[in-house]
Structure 1
Amino acid sequence: MTKVLTEPRSIRIKGRSFLAVVLSPDLPVDQWLERLDDLASRSAGFFLGRPVVLDVADLAIDREQLKDLIAKLASRNVSIMGLEGAKPSMVERGMPPILKGGRPVSDVEVPKPAPDPAAEQIEKDEPQPAPETATQERAPEVRSAVQSLMIPEAVRSGQSVIFTEGDVTVLGAVSSGAEIIAGGSIHIYGALRGRAMAGSVGNSTARIFCRKMEAELVAIDGIYKMAEDLPPELLGKPVQLWLEGDAIKAAKMA
């Protein structure tokens, strides 16, 4: 009788990165929450269903104050997926975990169970493929290039376009309630009525270009500005925006 030996299937654990909004509160927290409420009121649904990381590295608070802040954010429908810059002593069971790095990671290797000696003997008896020699040709290495994303139509309300690898170009309009998030610059050949966030992965040289400025919110490298904060003479006009220090600058295009 031949005994068929099979190895148990291992659990596959994968590493994966996601784009999240990072909030960095400052003191006094109550005043910061008021500014957050103002942002949310002028850009409805901005935090709805969006993963958020809370950066408390520069915030001098204790565990109870941190728990209170997380609770106040939850009451505003701001879901905290993790904490950045928090000391381990500030976190207890039931609180979001501490996150570090934020870089893409590879698959996590799970140790395999020790092989069965009988299975090893059966494997030895089976013919083995010839080892690869140095003379065999290797597949050419694929190098990643600078990428861009082109959207040949309008982005409708409720739609979210996230492309952190480079620039995003929209040939139509971006409706109110829609958003574009790009790692590079954003080019909109129609009206910008929704939200546009360029340089989302730390690119301070990114810019935003649009044919007609009517945005709910614009942001470059984490610095944001509401449409009503822009000079009135730019509203409804072709505009480009860029970052100078910690301020967004805007100018009319010809």
Structure 2
Amino acid sequence: MSLAFAASSGIRLAGRSFLAFVLEPMPPVAGWLADLDAVASQSLSFFANRPVVLNLARLEPDREETNAIIDALKLRNIRVIAVEGVDPSWVDPSLAPLGSGKETGKVVDFPNAAPRAQARPAAPAATPKGSTTIDRPVRSGQSIFHPEGDVIVLGSVSSGAEIIAGGSVHVYGTLRGRVLAGATGNPGALIFCRKYQAELVSIDGSYMTAEQSPPELIGKPVQIRLRNDAIVADILD
């Protein structure tokens, strides 16, 4: 027997995946927050409007410490959408653990952060499925998100613009904004640009800010890759 139901015209349900940063504080928390401030100062809009999952499993805080960390992130305008690794009753119900979320990338290590007590097993590299081409400049405030593969930009990427790709990123103009390649767990991703002036570049979680970039790269055609979890930049002839 088949039963037919009239479709509702007022409510539509759809699924959507999105990219969120995962922050994992390490002791001492004061030092970790100082490292976080340093990263934010190097790229002022790095966390702007970016959903963040706060994982406190390694820190093992009590209830008071948990809420102190959440408050510290709020003061920094970091938008926490969920808290993991603690008793859910300790936090606001709106910050309940995501539960079934699947981790696809590695944690970003902040400069001068305390070493991890135990290394996390490497996630299997995701295989990009396809590429997308942007045939116009990417302007300040715009964000391009393509988790399935490479992103090719035929123009320039302005300061304040952002490209996030599961694969490699090719910019056939000046790169002034932020590029996160291999964002879904692909350490073999590459970043190419005709003229390097980037605010931030990242591959599979490892990153380099403008202040960390060697001055000889500025204004040059550059290829960026990952080697032993470190960013390596080569000037192209």
RMSD: 2.4
Could you say which residue in structure 1 is the equivalent of 2:98?
A: 99
Gap change, CA 1:231 and 1:22, over 3 Å in 2: same
Code of the aligned partner of 1:26? M
Structure 1 regions of 5+ residues with no counterpart? Answer: 1-5, 105-144
Check whether the contact 2:22–2:53 (CA below 8 A) recurs between aligned residues.
yes
Gap change, CA 1:32 and 1:199, over 3 Å in 2: same
Check whether the contact 2:88–2:96 (CA below 8 A) recurs between aligned residues.
no
**Which piece of structure 1 moves more, 242-251 or 170-179?**
242-251
Could you say which residue in structure 1 is the equivalent of 2:45?
A: 45
Which of 218, 221, 239 aligns to 2:201? It is: 218
The question of 1:68 aligning with 2:79 is answered no
Structure 2 regions of 5+ residues with no counterpart? Answer: 104-127
Check whether the contact 2:135–2:155 (CA below 8 A) recurs between aligned residues.
yes
Check whether the contact 1:150–1:170 (CA below 8 A) recurs between aligned residues.
yes
Code of the aligned partner of 2:24? S
Distance 2:86 2:73 in 1: 20
Quote how far apart the aligned CAs of 1:66 are.
1.3
Distance 1:55 1:202 in 2: 18
SS across alignment from 2:211: helix
After the TM superposition, list the runs of 4 or more consecutive aligned residues in structure 1 that deviate by more than 3 angstroms.
Answer: 6-9, 11-16, 89-95
Code of the aligned partner of 1:185? S
Could you say which residue in structure 2 is the equivalent of 1:107?
A: none
Distance 2:185 2:27 in 1: 24
Quote how far apart the aligned CAs of 1:7 are.
8.3
Distance 2:81 2:232 in 1: 32
Q: Taking structure 2 as the reference length, what is the TM-score of the superposition? A: 0.80
Could you say which residue in structure 2 is the equivalent of 1:16?
A: 16
Quote how far apart the aligned CAs of 1:26 are.
1.4
- The aligned length equals 208
Kindly indicate whether structure 1 or structure 2 has the higher relative contact order, using CA contacts under 8 Å at least 6 residues apart: 2
Check whether the contact 1:241–1:250 (CA below 8 A) recurs between aligned residues.
yes
Quote how far apart the aligned CAs of 1:15 are.
4.2
